[in-house]
Each structure stands twice: as structure tokens, then as C-alpha cells.
Amino acid sequence: MQSITIKGSKRESVGKKASKALRNAEMVPCVLYGGDAPIHFMAEEKSFKSLVYTANAHTVVIELNDGGRFEAVLQDIQFHPVTDKILHIDFYQLFEDKPVTMNIPVKLNGNAPGVMNGGRLMFRNRKLTVKALPANLPDVINVDISKLRIGGTISVGDVLSEEYTFMHPDNTSIVQVKTSRNAVEEEEETAEGAEGAAEGAEGAAEGAAAEETSEAAE
């Protein structure tokens, strides 16, 4: 999985007043959990742009000014309800021998025949939660829809992996193609066309049989 480096400094004081002062200085108060004790630090707000404002999943390397270096994942983030500015971020430290839970984006590959026949593609879950060792965390979860027809569904149970565990029931829908009015009309037209072709073939067969009988009589 791709990683983003965040450079920060340990916080000398914590609390609402100290956090407000940091935000006024365009800094974000952060906490790193998962180690022996929580680590409070701060980093420039602009350094989180590639981590927060993206649909992609990333791990994080936190480099502190005292020489500390930690691998982590974003665990929680708080935004201002009006301005959407980042108020606070919690991280969780990674260890190579400890599984971690993370939300991973889903990528659809191919073209669904059901959509080309008039159905509607319903992308139910654009992200799925998985649990895995850090080395096995995927960048994306690839879902092949090239055989997905009208009425068909691809669920979590269809994309299981040995490298990670989904934190969802196997019957959780990821993507499906639902029928539409156009699709129904197309199916009816196709059925009528097939019926007409069958009647035509039957008529041709009867005509050929009658002709053979006539020739035999002569």
C-alpha cells in the first residue's frame, strides 16, 4: 500500500486552549495510539491534503522533530461543522505482526453486459472494511463486472481473499445491475422477435413438407 509522510512536532501542552491556538496557527493537533502510551503531536494542516482529500487508501509515516518515526493509519478525523477545516486527527500505530482494520476503496473493472442491455448499475459499497497485517493491506479491492447481467449481484463472498478478512457478512452487496423499463422492453422485443422467427421457421418447414407431398403425388 502507498504511504504518505507527515512531518510534525511533539506537543508540549494539550487541552482545548492549546488546541485552539494550534488551529489558529494553521496546525492540526493529533494523537498517535497503539504504542506503549499515546503520543500527542502537531503538524501543518496542508500536509494532510494528500491523505484526507482523496478516495485512495494510504498508510502514514509520522516523522517527529525529536527523531521519532512511526508507521500508522488514520483512525479518526474531526472537521469543523461549518468551515470543514480539520480540527483533530487520531492515528493508530502499525506493527508488522499485528493485524489492523482499515477502509479500502472498491474499483470496478470491465463493462457489465446488463448495463449495455439497459439495466442500471447500483454501486452499493464504494469502500469495504478489511482486517489484515500491514504488509497485506490492499490499495484497492478489484471487482470484475464483465459478466454481471440484469438482476445479477456481486457480494463480499464473491471477492474473498486469503491475504485479508472482510469485516462484513458474505452476502453484503457490492454492486448489482437492476432492471429498468428500457431493459424490460428490450427483453420483450427480443422475445417477440424470437417467437416470430420460430413461427417463420415453422411456416417454412410446413411449406417445404407440402411441396414434397405435392411432388410425390405427381
- DSSP-derived letter for residue 48 is G
Q: Is 11 contained in some domain?
A: yes
Q: Could you say which of 94, 111, 145 is where a domain stops?
A: 94
CA atoms within 13 A on the CB side of 212: 6
**CATH of residue 105:** 2.170.120.20
Domain finish residue from 46, 70, 94: 94
Considering the domain architecture, whether residues 83 and 110 belong to the same structural domain is answered as no
Helix (H) or strand (E) holding 74: strand 69-79
Instruction: Give buried/exposed letters for 16-45 (b at 16+ CB in 10 A, else e).
Output: eeebeebbeeebbbbbbebeeeebbbbbeb
Domain count, the chain: 2
> How many C-beta atoms surround the C-beta of residue 94 within 10 A?
20
Measured in residues, the chain has a length of: 218
Q: Is 197 a member of any domain?
A: no
Residue-range definition of the domain harbouring residue 50: 3-94
DSSP state of 98: S
- What does the pLDDT read at residue 14? 84
Task: Give start and end residues of each alpha helix (H) in 90-180.
Answer: 113-116
The answer on 68 and 40 residing in a single domain is yes
This prediction's pTM:
0.77
Closest to 56 measured CA to CA, from 3, 98, 7, 19: 3
Same domain, 32 and 76: yes
Where does a domain end: 28, 61, 94?
A: 94
What CATH number has the domain bearing residue 73? 2.40.240.10
Determine, yes or no, domain membership for 200.
Answer: no
Of 59, 50, 57, 51, nearest in space to 139 by CA: 57
- Are 86 and 121 members of one domain? no
Residue 81 backbone phi and psi in degrees, to 5: -65, -20
Tens digit of pLDDT at every position of the chain (218 positions): 889 999 999 998 888 888 989 999 999 999 999 999 999 999 999 999 999 988 899 999 999 998 899 999 999 999 999 999 999 999 999 999 999 999 999 999 999 999 999 999 999 999 999 999 999 999 999 999 999 999 999 999 999 999 999 999 999 999 999 997 766 544 444 444 445 544 554 554 454 444 544 444 44
